[in-house]
Structures are given as C-alpha cells and as structure tokens.
Amino acid sequence: MFKNYLTIAIRNLSRHKAYTFINVIGLAIGLACSTLILLYLQHEFSYDRHHSKADRIYRVIAEFRQSNGNVIYPYGVQGPVAPALAEDFPEIERATRFFRRNRVYVGVEGKELLQSSVMVADQ
C-alpha cells in the first residue's frame, strides 16, 4: 500500500516539475528561516545563564524623549546611578557600573600597538 502511494507521488512530482520546484524551494526556505530564528532566540536567551542566580540580574537603562517624539534608549546610565540605587533600595544586593571606551590606544615608547574598544567595570 505504501509502495503504491510512493509511486503515485513520484509520478505526480515528475509530471508537474514547476510546482514541485516551487514547493521544494518554499519548504527549504521556510525550514532555513525557522532554524535561523530558533538559533537567534537560543542565543538571545543564553545571556547570563552561567550565573547561579541569573534570574536576579537586571540592567538599568535610560529613556530619552526627543522633541519630535522619537524615543532613544542609550546603552547605559550615568555613573552615580548604581551607588544611589544600592543605597536607596535595600533589595539590591550588589550594583556595578560599566563604561565603554571606544578608542583606546596601547603603545610602547610612542609606538601605537592597538586601537580598540574596551569595557571598564567595577569589581
């Protein structure tokens, strides 16, 4: 019975080559997109999972509203925010600050060796 179904399917696929091509290509593109989305989501949800208390890690961001109505979310807030939050809210166990420096030059005897961006953080 299964052999009969398989024979009929192969005959129909070989008889209608354009539709077969469209269906196979559509299926391949759909599977590839689904796999890429799954890998992206897996990567995004994997941050900070190596910490034993990862569910208790938060990040404070700022929200700036421009006069034209646009909203901007910069990657961080000002330096004094972390100590102020830790002082005002007893629920906060620890707070740290980090800052990104874009152009860092490392050199010896006036010779530039490296130009890079680094993150500077509290202990």
Backbone angles phi, psi at 81, to 5 degrees: -65, -45
Residue-wise pLDDT for 1-53, tens only, equals 999 999 999 999 899 999 999 999 999 999 999 999 999 999 988 887 888 88
CA–CA dist 120, 101 (Å, integer):
7
CA–CA dist 86, 54 (Å, integer):
18
Residue-wise pLDDT for 89-118, tens only, equals 988 888 888 877 777 777 777 777 777 777
Q: What is the value of pTM for the model shown?
A: 0.52
Residue-wise pLDDT for 49-104, tens only, equals 888 888 888 888 888 899 998 998 877 778 888 888 888 998 888 888 887 777 77
Question: Hey, what amino acid is at 70?
Answer: N
Element (H, E) at 43: helix 17-44
91: left (phi over 0), alpha (psi -120 to 50) or beta: alpha
